[in-house]
Structure 1
Amino acid sequence: MASNPEVVVVTGASAGVGRAIVREFARQGARVGLISREEGRLQDAAWEVSALGGEALVLPCDVSDSHAVEQAAAKVAQRWGHIDVWVNCAMVTVFAPVMETTASEYRRVMDVTFLGFVHGTQSALRRMRPRGRGTVVQVGSALAFRGIPLQSAYCSAKHALIGFTESLRCELRHDKSPLHITTVDLPGMNTPQFDWSRSKMPRQAQPVPPIYQPEVAARAVVWAAHHQRRSIWVGIPTVKTIIGNRLVPGWLDRYLARVGYTKQMSDEPRDTHRPDNLLTPVPGDPGAHGRFDARARRHSVQLWANLHRAWLAAAAVVGVTSAAALGARHRG
């Protein structure tokens, strides 16, 4: 472990993108507070953290409970003295048309996927502000900028997250606070959510292709935690979605009406008897990956270029300057 390990808290730490983020920080020797509802999976994640060279603190709680999140943050500060990075990643969702989604289902998705981020951010800031140091990373989505059919609850929560984060960013700037808040917006990821989220679709849910492995997101989150970037878009699909919605939102309405249903369903019929994790966690530990390993991409050229854009810009300037100098010599 490093001589002065970084202290990180990750919500949604027991599976999917959150689990991959935990592993990535652990490889850097971080001390990681693990927040999720399922204690058994958190214990497995804690073992992985230790095996990778970090130190873990298991903090089972539901992020929809602000008091429980505050208690978890207090335990981290009591154990390690402070919090350097807080990553909000916990989520639940419902795959269903608007008219088949109940008010209680909307409320639960908002409680976890939006208010859970609010609770985590507030608890983090309470501990970061006295030190004048710290970063909050919001794990967002391309769907924060463009709603799609069958995911109105999730899209609503992620849209709300953008508004909350932008408001907070302005307040921090007004207060001349050195604290940093950033968003990492993701494409379709190969995570277990498609096997345990509540679904009312006729066939099995799947991420909209192309699909990326959660390690791609984890690398972006860890990079964002250590660089002063306002936001990071991960993957070409995210770029296309966000830019496309700014330029041709009406065309996207028509396109998603035509293909948005089929792209979110595989050919397999939905198992109507399987449990879902909307209200209570599903037992077992699938880890970070879902069942789409054979189709998922392990790397993103777009993300690499995004994270290295300063280096690429410098290389481009050198190339243009060299070409201009060479041309001048030839003309001379």
Structure 2
Amino acid sequence: MPVGMRERDSRQVVVVTGASGGIGRATARAFAQRGAAVALLARGEAGLKAAAEDVEAAGGVALPIEVDVADQREVEAAAARVEDELGPIDVWVNDAFTSVFAPFMEIEPEEFRRVTEVSYLGYVFGTRAALRRMLPRDRGAIVQVGSALAYRGIPLQSAYCGAKHAIQGFNEALRAELLHDKSNVRVTMVQMPAVNTPQFDWVLSRLGRHAQPVPPIYQPEVAARAVVYAADHPKRREYWVGASTVGTLVADKFVPGLLDRYLAKTGYDSQQTSQRRDPRQPRNLWEPADEDRDYGAHGDFDDRSSRRSPQVWASQHHGLIAAAGAGLVALAAGAVLARRH
């Protein structure tokens, strides 16, 4: 009997790309805790096996599939397998990525192309595979895992920032098309802050010191909860996670030139620890780093990472906050008028 045939009509079917580590791994666990059937798409055999064990331990059904999301045919074949073995896909989460930490002129053209193919076109191919199945049923949700860097580029991450900006534009265009067609299929995007993931141990780096997320840093479970919420409430065009994301996006909107100068001054040091980079560090650009070793969801920065983000609640309840703010303004205005009379 295919994986997931039991209760296939009652379980939510979720696909998560990049599911072997970081945000994708935490997101797969979060859906599994609700009893979902989770298809895990990633490259590394060891990471996939451990992610599947996580899902099963959390109460879900796991279907691990080795996929390079830069290959459209592999993504399409994976989507067909998911529907054959688990049932109709309800939620598709695009999260897979790779990157290079280096100044732009130290990134080779083929490396830049590879980052773009995985981190941008991987989202395009995943979205297309999901839509091919969701549109005829007129239901489903697609969640694009984004970043504050989808709006604001930073030094040493030109390839990654370019991909995230591209996803932002692609998602906005697609959303407008779905609205035009009055489709009940929804797309939404979750803009993430710096997250404590294993990427800093396996992304190709040419920095002198060990790469790190720009503080403040959040645990991947914070990001995962936001992704699950977005999948449940996909009518919102996007969600922001972390006060740092809000601060960055607001600053970029109103004082982008000042932010350019600030990042030019601080962006190099803030992305590196005081430790020298290990020249033997694995590189997952061309081959998976977790083929023989499971890195898990967390990186090396547990002692510096927050498990909560009050701003996430604010992003999810902006209507309530706006109403409360309007109420306070009305009360204040009433008090002023009362004094005058």
Compute the TM-score of the two structures, normalised by the length of structure 2: 0.92
The corresponding residue for 1:259 is 266
Task: Select the residue among 146, 150, 155 that pairs with 1:144.
Answer: 150
Task: Select the residue among 290, 300, 308 that pairs with 2:317.
Answer: 308
The corresponding residue for 2:73 is 67
Write the letter of the residue equivalent to 1:248: V
Q: 1:103 to 1:327 in 2, by over 3 A?
A: closer
The answer to whether the 8 Å contact 1:39/1:58 transfers is no
The corresponding residue for 2:4 is none
Secondary structure (helix, strand or coil) at the match of 1:280 reads: coil
Task: Select the residue among 134, 138, 141 that pairs with 2:140.
Answer: 134
Mind listing any 5+ residue stretches in structure 2 that lack a counterpart? 1-6
Write the letter of the residue equivalent to 1:182: T
The answer to whether the 8 Å contact 1:190/1:296 transfers is yes
Secondary structure (helix, strand or coil) at the match of 2:14 reads: strand
Write the letter of the residue equivalent to 2:107: T
Write the letter of the residue equivalent to 2:226: A
1:178 shift after superposition:
1.3
Secondary structure (helix, strand or coil) at the match of 1:46 reads: helix
Equivalents in 2 of 1:265, 1:80: separation in Å?
42
The corresponding residue for 2:3 is none
Equivalents in 2 of 1:261, 1:278: separation in Å?
22
The answer to whether the 8 Å contact 1:2/1:29 transfers is no
Secondary structure (helix, strand or coil) at the match of 1:294 reads: helix
The corresponding residue for 1:280 is 287
Task: Select the residue among 302, 307, 320 that pairs with 1:293.
Answer: 302
The answer to whether the 8 Å contact 2:35/2:59 transfers is yes
Paired residues for 1:61-140 under 5 Å: 61-140=67-146
Equivalents in 1 of 2:333, 2:245: separation in Å?
36
Paired residues for 1:33-48 under 5 Å: 33-48=39-54
Secondary structure (helix, strand or coil) at the match of 2:172 reads: helix
When the two chains are superposed, the root-mean-square deviation of aligned CA atoms in Å is: 2.0
Mind listing any 5+ residue stretches in structure 1 that lack a counterpart? none
Equivalents in 2 of 1:318, 1:301: separation in Å?
21
1:58 matches 2:64: yes
Equivalents in 2 of 1:330, 1:157: separation in Å?
56
1:189 shift after superposition:
0.4
The answer to whether the 8 Å contact 1:12/1:89 transfers is yes
The answer to whether the 8 Å contact 2:196/2:298 transfers is yes
1:28 shift after superposition:
0.8
Q: 1:167 to 1:39 in 2, by over 3 A?
A: same
Equivalents in 2 of 1:22, 1:37: separation in Å?
15
1:161 matches 2:167: yes
Q: 1:324 to 1:254 in 2, by over 3 A?
A: closer
Q: 1:321 to 1:144 in 2, by over 3 A?
A: closer
Equivalents in 1 of 2:23, 2:69: separation in Å?
16
Task: Select the residue among 233, 239, 246 that pairs with 2:253.
Answer: 246
1:125 shift after superposition:
0.2
The answer to whether the 8 Å contact 1:18/1:89 transfers is yes
Compute the TM-score of the two structures, normalised by the length of structure 1: 0.95
Which portions of structure 1, spanning 4 or more consecutive aligned residues, are displaced by more than 3 angstroms? 310-332
Equivalents in 2 of 1:24, 1:203: separation in Å?
33
Write the letter of the residue equivalent to 1:230: R
